[in-house]
Amino acid sequence: MSKKIVVVIGAFLLALAAMQPAGAQDEETQCKKVRGHGEVVAYQIPCLEDPEFYFCIVSETRGGLKGKWVSYQQEDWGSMFLGDAGLPVPPGAPVTWYIREFEVFSTKKGTVYGDMQATFDARIFDSGGGAALPTIVTGGTGIYEDATGWIVVILTDESLENFKILGRICGPNIPSDDDDSDDD
């Protein structure tokens, strides 16, 4: 993994840690690290998973959050060019992408909901790096009801079809890190 992506992920994780107020977790709240990987199995236009969305990406996941991950997008939520999204374009970065997605991770123990927004320069793949897509956990069902936390999906190649998953999810129904089961 390139040093650039490690720095970006490190800065993101530091920002997330700073966002959680001291004492935000009580004795009943448990947290679990999430580790996993997966690959895209379908691109759908229109989105067959939920017709209210213009586009979705369906992926299989293994490890933590084993099951199915669906990224939902509306037509105006993503662009290959920052300028199209109304954002400034850095000099020499004609392939900078902007993406916004509603994320749903479905497992046999429940469903995790999250919101993701990211920008990245696609040239990172030329140097062997990957793009990190940060998701803020906004709740869920089953053991993920009232969950909070973060998930980072790291695209590991230019095809955008292979990825790693890292994260931390907290909530009153989450098994602690002492529970080593990877079949969430």
Cα–Cα dist 77/79, whole Å: 7
What single DSSP character describes residue 54?
S
- Counting residues of the chain whose pLDDT is more than 70, the rounded percentage is 62
Q: Residues 1-31: pLDDT tens digits?
A: 444 443 344 444 434 443 443 334 455 789 9
The predicted pLDDT at position 2 comes to 46
Cα–Cα dist 155/116, whole Å: 14
- Of these ranges, 45-49, 125-129, 159-163, 168-172, the one predicted with the greatest mean pLDDT is 168-172
* pLDDT band of 130, cuts 50, 70, 90: low
Please list the helix, strand and coil fractions of the chain in percent, rounded to the nearest 5, in that order: 15, 45, 40
Q: Residues 86-129: pLDDT tens digits?
A: 666 666 655 667 778 899 999 999 999 999 987 776 666 666 66
